[in-house]
Amino acid sequence: MIEHTTIEKILDAAQIVDVVQEFVPLKKRGVNLLGLCPFHNEKTPSFTVSPSKGIFKCFGCGKGGNSVNFIMEHEHLSYPEALKYLARKYHIEIEERELTREDIEKQNERESMLVLTAYAGRQFKENLFNADEGISIGLTYFKERGFRHDTLNKFDIGYSFERRDAFSKKAVEDGYKQEFLIKTGLSIQHEEKIFDRFSGRVMFPIHSLSGQVLGFGGRILRSDQKTAKYLNSPESEIYHKSKIVYGIFQARKAITQDDRCYLVEGYTDVLSLHEADIENVVASSGTSLTQEQVRLIKRFTQNITILYDGDEAGIKASIRGIDLVLEEGMNVKIVLLPDGEDPDSYSKKVNNEEFTKYLKENETDFIRFKTQLLLSEAKSDPVKRANLIRDIVKSIAVIPETITRTVYIKECSTQMEVPEPVLYNEVNKLRQQKSFQDRNKYPGPEDLPVPRIAPVKQVTHEAGTFYSEREIIRLLLKYGSEVYERKLNREDGKETVTTIADYIVNEIVSDELTFDNSVFSEIFSDYGFYVGQGLFPGDQHFVRHQDPDISSISADLLADSHELSNIWRTKQTYVETEVMKLKEIVPETVLKFKSDKINILRKKILRQIDEASKANDTEKIITLQKKYNTLSKALSKISKNLGDRIVL
Ligand SMILES: [Zn+2]
């Protein structure tokens, strides 16, 4: 844990312009600086740095934040890593906070588990290469399948004896605690005894980025056993299967060098590709691809090629994978292997050169892949054809970058013989729906909320309260200290001033409303705390917040489009408008938030009424109906208020 004062020192030293300029050439433009965004491809600069606010913001891809956020994003570092990086750069000594007992316990537990999994890895490897049973069963299996000794060694492949407690017993003898045997899932407790989870299996250790053994995949060799062919370590303090990909430790260097990552399904596929001299390969081991896994790969490259064997499960999995990759703004290619082959079998059938050549020549983009896959059956059937187009459009819509989307729309238009404008229309429609649903993504430039009253009309009820929550936090951060109204007390002649912050905090606290989005909720309660003391936290409090989610969202909200971007320069007038119209905008936004909340509640009650009527619970229905009516009345009052307020 890095001491708070140290973080302050780092933030003071790491001036945003200085930090960014090391990677991005910047040109002065008014009070800000402008450059080409390092996070997406662009020809016209939309990446803006505001020295006065200490933030950067790209109006192309939406990325934004303070200098720590920049380093995290650019150097693929975690928050503490980025702080340490900047501390080194600015010669600041890191003072780490003393760990609490709980921290230490947690850390000790993790460490004990990692020590144990490392030990297990060594034991299993020893079994495979040096024990009779391991050699005759395990090693023979790999030899028969044509795997080389050096490959098995490189991946620390091992073998777990068939005797049901062989490993557990040995580990306890060697001084390892039963507690951690259970916690890592290496052993299973049954009544008073402990047994091996993986007995009679060849073992594939799953390594972290830095090579620590986090867990194992084990393959059973006897075909007569009524048990799953593959078994994985259960989730634990150290192993989260959705966050790691198999082979990343052995692949990371090659992925960076090749600027591409091959994605396969199984452990042995990874091994096979290594034997074919393709080392930039990982597998999503034991789970279908997840967002976190894609992000892990993204730390090393923007390009993923999915290799898949043509069985139905494989196709389904790869289709799901495609959208996940696209959504991260990465490029995805697909290689379909010849009929009946998987990466393992095919790489053994042909020589390395032929295999590499096949991969290069047969990679297709996802539109062609989907079209080829489905067009033959869809060609003559207009309904199926429409579904196929919709399917492709859905994939295009998740791509965050405008330029890439444009390219794919062109491609789809040619392939499917649909006019481009029709596709644009569909894609935009989907994106609009999505931008409301999606809580974590920054909006792209075309999705930036149109300033002023517009959000009130745009938000659909299905959207929940994300947009109105966001708008409330934005108003607080930007205008919290501005005057909302002044009142003169006739008796003593004193003036009371209500600020925007007073008004908003009071409205929300007195109605006992809460924020659904955790980051907004945290900003609000932090802000409310200050307001309660008659203070204003100031925007730097949030921009420099220790929680990188808070700092980056605050930077995003404070990055005035009109102030930072040349795109908006012509709309300079909007600044005055918003400041001048705060008296309208603020209560409107609060009302909108309330009506969103009520709508959600009403929906919930409707569902409950439905359930109650199924259960014939008349009493409950009446109570619920009453509640519903009260809410409806409140809502119509708000709507009327809102309607009265919207000045067109
Ligand atoms: Zn960008």
Tens of pLDDT, residue by residue over 255-284, are 877 889 999 988 999 999 999 999 999 998
pLDDT above 90 as % of the chain: 26
pLDDT confidence of residue 373: 72
How much distance in Å is there from the Cα of 616 to the middle of ligand 1?
A: 56
Cα-to-centroid distance, 53 and ligand 1 (Å): 19
| Joined tokens for residue 298 | 């993204």
Instruction: Compute the average pLDDT of residues 188-212.
Output: 90
CA of 359 to the centre of ligand 1 (A): 31
Beta-sheet pairing, 201-207 with 193-196: unpaired
Backbone angles phi, psi at 611, to 5 degrees: -65, -45
pLDDT for res 217: 95
Question: Residue 263 Cα, ligand 1 centroid: separation in angstroms?
Answer: 26
Of the candidates 304, 331, 330, 308, the residue with the CA atom closest to the CA atom of residue 319: 308
Identify which of 200-209, 322-331, 557-566 has the greatest average pLDDT: 200-209
Closest CA to 443 of 421, 414, 423, 463: 463
Mean pLDDT value of segment 161-178 = 93
Q: Ligand 1 centre and the CA of 63: distance in Å? A: 6
- Span from the CA of 435 to the centroid of ligand 1 (angstroms): 18
CA nearest to 198, candidates 211, 181, 176, 210:
181
What is the Cβ-side half-sphere exposure of residue 392, based on CA atoms within 13 angstroms? 29
Mean pLDDT of the chain: 83
**Ligand 1: centre distance to CA 312 (Å):** 37
The β-bridge partners of 349 are none
Name the H helices within 350-459: 352-362, 366-378, 382-397, 402-416, 420-437, 454-458
Model pLDDT, residue 248: 92
* Residue 57 CA, ligand 1 centroid: distance in Å: 8
Residue given tokens 């983009």 in the structure block: 365
What's the whole-number mean pLDDT along residues 26-53? 87
Higher pLDDT, 545 or 646: 545
By mean pLDDT, which of 29-38, 359-368, 477-486, 534-543 is the weakest? 534-543
Instruction: Quote the ligand 1 centre to 62 CA distance (angstroms).
Output: 6
Distance from C-alpha of 256 to C-alpha of 303, rounded to nearest angstrom = 10
Query: Around ion ligand 1, which residues have CB less than 5 A away?
Result: 37, 39-40, 58, 60-61
The pLDDT confidence band at residue 138, using thresholds 50, 70 and 90, is: very high
- Do 443 and 546 touch, CB atoms closer than 8 A? no
pLDDT of 455 above 70: no
CA of 59 to the centre of ligand 1 (A): 6
Which band of pLDDT confidence, cut at 50, 70 and 90, is reported for residue 216? very high
Confidence of residue 164 (pLDDT cuts 50, 70, 90): very high
Task: Over range 314-335, report the average pLDDT.
Answer: 82
How many A from CA of 159 to the centre of ligand 1?
48
pLDDT greater than 60 at residue 576: no
> pLDDT: is 571 or 96 the higher one?
96
CA of 46 relative to ligand 1 center, distance in Å? 7
pLDDT of residue 286: 64
Q: Which residue has the higher pLDDT, 509 or 445?
A: 509
Q: If you average pLDDT over residues 547-575, what whole number do you get? A: 63
Element spanning 143, H or E:
helix 140-144
CA of 173 to the centre of ligand 1 (A): 56
pLDDT for the residue 252: 82
Q: Residues 189-198: what's their mean pLDDT?
A: 90
Ligand 1 centroid from CA 61, angstroms: 4
pLDDT at 434: 65
pLDDT of amino acid 45: 87
Tell me, in angstroms, the distance from the centre of ligand 1 to residue 45's CA.
9
Rounded distance from Cα 473 to ligand 1 centre (Å): 24
CA distances to 38, 327, 443 from 43, in Å = 11, 22, 20
Q: Assign 127 a pLDDT band (cuts: 50, 70, 90).
A: very high
Best-predicted range by mean pLDDT (433-437, 477-481, 534-538, 556-560): 477-481
The CA 573 to ligand 1 mean position distance, Å, reads 26
Distance 434 CA to ligand 1 centre (A): 20
Q: What is the pLDDT of residue 211?
A: 82
Tell which wins on pLDDT, 402 or 520: 520
Work out the pLDDT band at 98, boundaries 50, 70, 90.
low
Neighbour count for residue 313 (Cβ, 10 Å):
11
Model pLDDT, residue 336? 82
Distance from the CA of 593 to the center of ligand 1, in angstroms?
Answer: 30
Cα-to-centroid distance, 283 and ligand 1 (Å): 29
Q: How confident is residue 298, by pLDDT bands cut at 50, 70 and 90?
A: confident
Q: Does residue 453 carry a pLDDT above 50?
A: no
Among 37-46, 126-135, 143-152, 456-465, the range scoring the smallest mean pLDDT is 456-465
56 alpha carbon – ligand 1 mean position (Å):
10
**Distance (Å) from CA 239 to ligand 1 centroid:** 33
Instruction: Read off the DSSP letter of residue 139.
Output: I
How large a percentage of the chain has pLDDT more than 70?
Answer: 88
How remote is the CA of residue 289 from the centroid of ligand 1, in Å? 26
Q: How far is the CA of 48 from the centre of ligand 1 (A)?
A: 9
Task: Tell how far the Cα of 550 is from the centroid of ligand 1, in angstroms.
Answer: 20
Question: Are 282 and 239 in contact, with CB atoms under 8 Å apart?
Answer: no
Residue 458: its pLDDT value, please? Answer: 33
pLDDT at 171 over 90: yes
52 CA to centre of ligand 1 in angstroms: 20
pLDDT (mean) for 348-372: 86
380 Cα–ligand 1 center, Å? 42
N-to-C CA span, the chain? 52
Q: What is the pLDDT of residue 567?
A: 37
How much distance in Å is there from the Cα of 39 to the middle of ligand 1?
5
With 0.95 as the threshold, say if the pTM is over it: no
How do strand 303-308 and strand 331-336 relate by DSSP bridges?
A: parallel
Of 150-154, 379-383, 512-516, 591-595, the poorest mean pLDDT is in 379-383
Q: Does the structure show a pLDDT above 60 at 76?
A: yes
Centre of ligand 1 from the C-alpha of residue 136, in Å: 56
Ramachandran category for residue 464: left, alpha or beta (phi over 0 → left; psi -120 to 50 → alpha): left
Residue 648 confidence (pLDDT) above 50: no
